[in-house]
Amino acid sequence: MELTPFFWLMLGWHLVRRALRLYGYWRMKPIPVPENPQMRADRVSVIIPTIGAPAELISRLHAMLDNHPKEIIIVTTAALIKEMRSVLQQFIPEGQLHKIHALDIPLPNKRNQLTRGIQAAAGEIIVLADDDVYWPRNLLEQVLAVFEWEPKVGGVTTLEATHGLDGRSPETITMWEAFESRRLSARNIDIAASSWLDGSQTVLTGRTAAYRACILKDPDYLFAFTNEYLFGRYRMHCGDDQFTTRWLLNHGWDTRLQTGAMIHCEALSDSRHVKQILRWARNGKISSLKRFFGSKRMWRRLVIPCPSLIFLLQ
């Protein structure tokens, strides 16, 4: 069968795109931590919205406490708040318990839970984190370095990897866990390459992202965050990370990736992984439509990667 020029064109584009991704990933370097940092972890509030079993959160809280934040605010539902406080009293050392505040809202809703935590936060930097992530000991140190070096940066994201697969026998790793591990590896390459090309990020992951508190505490942001609608009819309860990233870019803030920081996430071991991926894909498509057709500022930002891309292709 004779191969058409269109086939060769698409093959060439695929190879060029792949080469650019790998080259950008290789060239992207971590933003260094200052020798005498002015922004320290004790100025950070961590907010964790959760509707899961409180006991499952404990090991992740210990990892976060090892970063020495100012406070950790857990926002759950009214049905779980009593159990949450009991578990915290039982498993968190007394000397660290004062750093953890458990709040609740009547019904599960991630945006409302985040809003409750943001309103209660006292730190200059707010980190929004999912309840299934494990932090390394230096995560806040790495993330804060970006804010210190670049005053125009409003939000910082990190690299991601699956938790607990390295020490396991290959026979015990499910197909779904392997898919998630591969997806995160590809994501790390993509966002690092994007960051190297133009410095920005299309989305600051909801699993762990840091923001300047003045942005999230803005009443205009909080109102828009909890009153976003699809097609003017359907209130948005998910896609919180996509919304916040768009808000930053629309209001003139820069976004950054800190490749010196990597979080580890629990990978679903069954077919629930498919539903999770479909949900993320849906949120991404909705956000893309809003990004391209809802903001003149976003259109102006689209030209930023072009000079870098032309330079690489020369």
Q: Give the CA dihedral 173, 177, 183, 185, nearest 10 degrees.
A: -50
Specify the residue for token string 């935590």.
117
pTM for this prediction: 0.87
CA–CA distance, 227 with 221 (Å, rounded to integer) = 10
Strand partners, 71: 45
pLDDT for the residue numbered 300: 54
Distance in angstroms (rounded) separating the CA atoms of residues 134 and 265? 6
State yes or no: pLDDT of 313 exceeds 50.
Answer: no
Lowest-confidence range among 91-95, 108-112, 238-242, 276-280? Answer: 276-280
State the pLDDT at residue 169: 76
Contact 126, 211 (CB under 8 A): yes
Higher pLDDT, 131 or 237: 131
Supply the pLDDT for residue 110.
Answer: 94
pLDDT: is 23 or 155 the higher one?
Answer: 155
104-162 tens-digit pLDDT:
999 999 999 999 999 999 999 999 999 999 999 999 999 999 999 999 999 999 999 99
Please report the pLDDT score of residue 207 as a whole number: 92
Residue 274 has pLDDT above 80, yes or no: no
pLDDT score, position 292:
61
What's the pLDDT score for residue 273?
Answer: 65
pLDDT bin (cut points 50, 70, 90) of residue 305 is very low
Domain 38-313, CATH class in plain words: alpha beta
Please report where in the chains the tokens 């015990």 appear, as a residue.
172
Nearest of 275, 276, 285 to residue 242 by alpha carbon: 285
How far, in Å, CA of 185 to CA of 190, rounded?
A: 9
**Mean pLDDT for all residues in the chain:** 86
φ/ψ of 46, rounded to 5, equals -105, 130
Between 293 and 201, residue with greater pLDDT = 201
For residue 265, what are its two tokens?
A: 């996430």
Q: What value does the mean pLDDT take over residues 268-283?
A: 71
Among 302, 189, 260, residue whose Cα is nearest residue 32: 260
Give the residue from 119, 142, 165, 135 showing the smallest Cα distance to 61.
135
- Contact between 249 and 200 under an 8 Å Cβ cutoff? The reply is yes
Give the three-class secondary structure for 107: coil
pLDDT beyond 60 at 296 = no
Q: How far apart are CA 307 and CA 314, in angstroms?
A: 11
Distance (Å, whole) CA 250 – CA 281:
22
Q: Domain residue spans in the chain?
A: 38-313
pLDDT at 10: 85
3-state secondary structure of 18: helix
pLDDT digits 0-9 by tens, 193-232: 888 887 778 789 889 999 999 999 999 999 999 998 876 7
Mean pLDDT of 173-199: 85
Q: What is the pLDDT of residue 310?
A: 40
Tell me: pLDDT of 239 over 80.
Answer: yes
Mean pLDDT of 298-302: 53
What residue ranges in the chain does DSSP mark as E strands? 44-49, 71-77, 100-105, 125-129, 133-134, 153-162, 208-212, 229-230, 234-235, 254-265
Q: Mean per-residue pLDDT for 19-31?
A: 87
Identify which of 204, 126, 111 has the alpha carbon closest to the alpha carbon of residue 159: 204
Give the pLDDT of residue 13. 83
45-91 pLDDT, tens digit per residue, is 999 999 988 999 999 999 999 999 999 999 999 999 999 999 999 99
Contacts of 43 (CB under 8 A, 6+ apart): 70, 123, 124, 125
pLDDT > 70? residue 293: no
Q: Structure tokens of 257?
A: 């990736």
Q: How far apart are CA 108 and CA 52, in angstroms?
A: 10
Stronger pLDDT, 180 or 148, i.e. the higher one: 148
CA distances from 176 to 161, 165, 173, 308 (A): 14, 12, 8, 36
What pLDDT, on a 0 to 100 scale, did the predictor assign at position 221? 97
